[in-house]
Amino acid sequence: MRNVLVKCALAAVVLPGLLLTSLLAQTTKVASTPPMGWNSWNHFRDKIDDATVRAQADAMVSSGMRDAGYLYVNIDDTWEGERDAKGIIHPNTKFPDMKALADYVHGKGLKLGIYSSPGPKTCAKYEGSYGHEEQDAQTYADWGIDYLKYDLCGLRDMMKEAGSPEAAHKIMVDAYTKMHNALLKTGRPIVYSLCQYGNDAVWRWGASVGGNLWRTTGDISDRYARMADIGFSQAGIAKYAGPGHWNDPDMLEVGNGGMNAEEYRTHMSLWAILAAPLLAGNDLSKMTPETISLLTNHEVVAIDQDTAGIQGDRVSTEGPMEVWVRPLADGSKAVGLFNRHPQPMDMRVDFRQLGFNGPVKLHDVWTGNNSEAKNGEYQTRVPGHGVVLLRVSK
Ligand code: GLA
């Protein structure tokens, strides 16, 4: 009897672990590295339509972004139309034929993403998936959709009526699980992006509801202060990310014009160290050479997409100066020296404190300069709001 009890108790402990392992095996089939692509929201908001999405796909190819690794072309909120008598969702007049659009995007070697909410309404008050989860997942699969961003919004009203934080949490978790199961049932690999702004420490349970990525914060904007607030607040959650399941500090603002080049370099460098999804949020059809080079810097992208999938973390702060480190698959480390002050600052690092013994080789990712730190110590001037991003090896 005692044995049986022990076995039962063991099963209860082991089973959730096994379930989680098989869930992770499923989710790793997509997003084995952080998803890269583009999303319509940051730049276009509700001014998004079929022609604009095609133009973005064209530009993703002609600018070299596709070849740099950007793959997903994601339509955010405001595509949704009405449901028909059978409950099937149709796009509104801005998107006359979603399947034809998916075919077009696929024809360019890219993938198409879409957006919905577990609530009755999306954030922009369009039709959500509440009560139609399986139907919608199947519709997306029939169209050829490859990525779903599932944004809490409309469900929050129902959660407020739940009576307790625990009951509200359960409503949310059940809703995200329901859509995950619906997506699995279609048999089509679809990246599942949770968007609920980091509530209830989503990094702790996002993978267990099938999320390939989950937003960890509220919305980004095209301002240094907001980007920095979000990016530098990511310290401490690295252990929850890995192949198939990533922390998402929101989409990129590079190229939207509200930050200078140093600030956008900080944005790219920090997101790469964070193993963050790289979803451009600008108008790809109107990019300056500087914007293209910021987005496509292959060494920065390589850090973001490093196959070990270990998210970096903050190792030290001194006033506005922060050092962040990400271990990479080849044994080297990406080291970001970030200066959050508006004026330049001299920053010092002792690589011995970052796990290196003896001399180290330094490669400055943005300038391409190579140097050596013979005694393991290094000092450099970092521009205001800027970064020096190094690849450090023995
Ligand atoms: C929320 C999300 C944004 C965007 C909008 C669309 O604010 O966080 O990323 O999807 O909704 O309405």
Give the tens place of pLDDT for each residue, 145-158. Answer: 999 999 999 999 99
The residue to mutate among 219, 220, 279, having the most atoms of ligand 1 within 8 angstroms of its beta carbon, is 219
What would the pLDDT profile of 80-118 be if each residue is shown by its tens digit? Answer: 999 999 999 999 999 999 999 999 999 999 999 999 999
Is 151 annotated in the active site? yes
Provide the pLDDT for residue 23: 57
Residue 49 among the catalytic residues? no
User: Phi then psi for 211, rounded to 5 degrees?
Assistant: -65, 135
Give yes or no for residue 4 having a pLDDT over 90. no
**pLDDT tens, residue by residue, 162-208:** 999 999 999 999 999 999 999 999 999 999 999 999 999 999 999 99
Mutate to test the pocket of ligand 1, among 77, 80, 230 (most ligand atoms within 8 A of CB): 77
Active-site choice (50, 136, 151, 306)? 151
76 lines ligand 1 (CB under 6 A): yes
Is the shortest distance between the CB of 214 and ligand 1 below 6 Å?
no
Quote the ligand 1 centre to 1 CA distance (angstroms): 54
Nearest alpha carbon, ligand 1 atom 1:
123
What is the rounded distance in angstroms from the CA atom of residue 283 to the CA atom of residue 9? 55
Q: Which of 40, 43, 123 to mutate to test the pocket of ligand 1 (most atoms within 8 A of CB)?
A: 123
Q: What is the pLDDT of the chain when averaged over all its residues?
A: 94
Would you say the CB of residue 310 lies under 6 angstroms from ligand 1? no
Q: Is the CB of 261 under 6 A from ligand 1?
A: no
Atom of ligand 1 nearest to the CA of 149: 10
Q: What pLDDT, on a 0 to 100 scale, did the predictor assign at position 2?
A: 39
pLDDT > 70: percent of the chain: 93
With a 6 Å cutoff on the Cβ, whether 80 touches ligand 1 is no
Which residue is catalytic, options 219, 229, 350, 364?
Answer: 219
pLDDT per residue as tens digits for the range 235-280 = 999 999 999 999 999 999 999 999 999 999 999 999 999 999 999 9
- CB neighbours of 15 closer than 8 A, spacing ≥ 6? none
pTM of the model: 0.93
* Chain segment 8-52, per-residue pLDDT in tens: 333 333 444 455 555 555 555 899 999 999 999 999 999 999 999
pLDDT at residue number 43: 98
**How many Å lie between the centroid of ligand 1 and the Cα of residue 381?**
37
45 CA closest ligand 1 atom index: 6
Ligand 1 contact via 151 beta carbon (within 6 Å) = yes
Contact partners, residue 201, CB within 8 Å, separation at least 6: none
